[in-house]
Amino acid sequence: MKIAVDAFGGDNAPEAVVKGCVAAASMCDAEIILVGKEKVIAELLKKEEVPTGKIRIHNAEEIIETGDVPVEAIRRKKDSSLVVALNLVKTGEADAVVSAGNTGAYLAGSFRYLGRMDGVKRPALTTVMPTVGTPSVILDIGANADCRPAQLVQFAQMGAVYAENVLDIKNPRVALLNIGAEEAKGNALTKETHQLLKTAPVNFIGNIEPRDVPYGLADVIVCDGFTGNVVIKLIEGSASALFSMLKEAFYKNIFSKLAAAVLKPGLVKVKRRMDYSEYGGAPFLGIDGVVFKAHGSSDAKAIKNAVIAAARYVETGVNEKIKQSLSLYVAEEVVDDGEL
């Protein structure tokens, strides 16, 4: 198996990416193709102990930056590490691609060079979200700001296959994010989706209320991309705001400072539990290829985890299983009544 990694994507690229790939190389059965400026990568690899025959470099001279306009970047920067890495999957030279770069460009590039999987209405952005309990897969988190019920049902099917195979969660609990536990609650989209999910071939446990999301009461949380994006960014913002208030309280006087010092290891642990990068990355589900996105701020550990997760995704044949699930059941499209 071969995994192409965009060596120049992410805030800590290329150093963290190279380090993460070296670590992953000795932990999984894949050959890693580092894509990007050959000379720079070669220099970085010299400093590492690279397992024989597990890493090679594929040159690409351009870099897509975080601030680049996605569709434009993909069209203009044909020799960027991101586009070249995607094309390695397209031509069959790699089985998967991993990048921590510009999310919009990555998504646009995946659409352009790999396209949708047969039978998929809309691919979805996914993330593995830390919770007080076990992590939850949430989708869509931003690829589709407006969704229709039948699309959400496919998100549920794809998310369940992913959670079961890559995260090792048997018969994952699938929930619909909604404002209220009762099935009659919600907006037009969630009310209709709830009905469709009741007969879909997933372990549908009903609605999950926003208040319960941080407690990990579901393994797969389904929602439209607007709501999903609000959820992950709001959790991030709430945690950061709360920590800033705690810091203020802890640095108030000499006694509180001393006490805070004693508690620091515990606080660091809590912060780490809330940290997305611990889970490495998550796939664009529904793309015709294996496309993993690592968090933009990924360190070497997060990159390592993303590469390992991508290898597991290929190994367990997630995309084949998704195709199978989608072919077995297609939710009826609701007639557009102008309300959704």
Query: Under the rule (CB under 8 A), what is the footprint of a copy of itself?
Result: 131-132, 142, 145-146, 177, 179, 186-188, 190, 209-215, 224-227, 229-231, 233-242, 244-246, 249-250, 252, 255-256, 258-260, 262-263, 266-267, 269-270, 273-274, 336, 338-339
Q: Which residues pair with 97 in a beta bridge?
A: 4, 291
Q: Which is nearer to a copy of itself, 187 or 316 (CB)?
A: 187
CB of 103 to a copy of itself, least distance (A): 11
Gyration radius from the chain CA atoms? 21
Strand order across the beta sheet in which 136-139 lies: 55-59, 31-36, 2-6, 96-99, 291-294, 281-285, 124-129, 136-139, 220-222, 173-177, 203-208
What secondary structure letter does DSSP report for 212? G
Which residue type, as a one-letter code, is found at position 259? A
Residue 312: in which H helix or E strand, if any? helix 300-315
Cα–Cα separations (whole angstroms), residue 251 to 238, 243, 255, 262, 268: 20, 12, 9, 13, 16
Measured distance CA(273)–CA(276) in Å, rounded: 8
In the complex with a copy of itself, the residue whose CB is nearer, 119 or 237, is 237
Q: For residues 8 and 276, which CB has a smaller minimum distance to a copy of itself in the complex?
A: 276
* Smallest separation, CB 242 to a copy of itself (Å): 5
Work out the burial of residue 266: count CB atoms within 10 Å of its CB; fewer than 13 is exposed, 13-18 middle, 19 or more buried: exposed
The three-state secondary structure class of 72 is helix
Q: How far apart are the first and last CA of the chain?
A: 43
Q: Extract the runs of DSSP E, i.e. beta strands, from 124-212.
A: 124-129, 136-139, 173-177, 203-208
Nearer to a copy of itself, 49 or 336 (CB): 336
State the nearest-atom distance from the C-beta of 94 to a copy of itself, in Å.
Answer: 31
Q: By C-beta, is 249 or 328 nearer to a copy of itself?
A: 249
* Least CB distance to a copy of itself at residue 185 (A): 8
Tell me the closest approach of the beta carbon of residue 263 to a copy of itself, in angstroms: 5
Between 1 and 205, CB nearer to a copy of itself: 205
| Residue 235 Cβ vs a copy of itself, minimum distance, rounded to whole Å | 5
CA distances from residue 59 to 1, 80, 93, 235 in whole angstroms, order as listed: 20, 9, 14, 38
Nearer to a copy of itself, 91 or 244 (CB): 244
In whole angstroms, how close is the CB of 326 to a copy of itself at the nearest point?
25
Rounded least distance, CB 74 to a copy of itself, Å: 17
Residue placing its CB nearer to a copy of itself in the complex, 70 or 115:
70
Per the CB < 8 A criterion, the answer to whether 8 and 81 are in contact is: yes
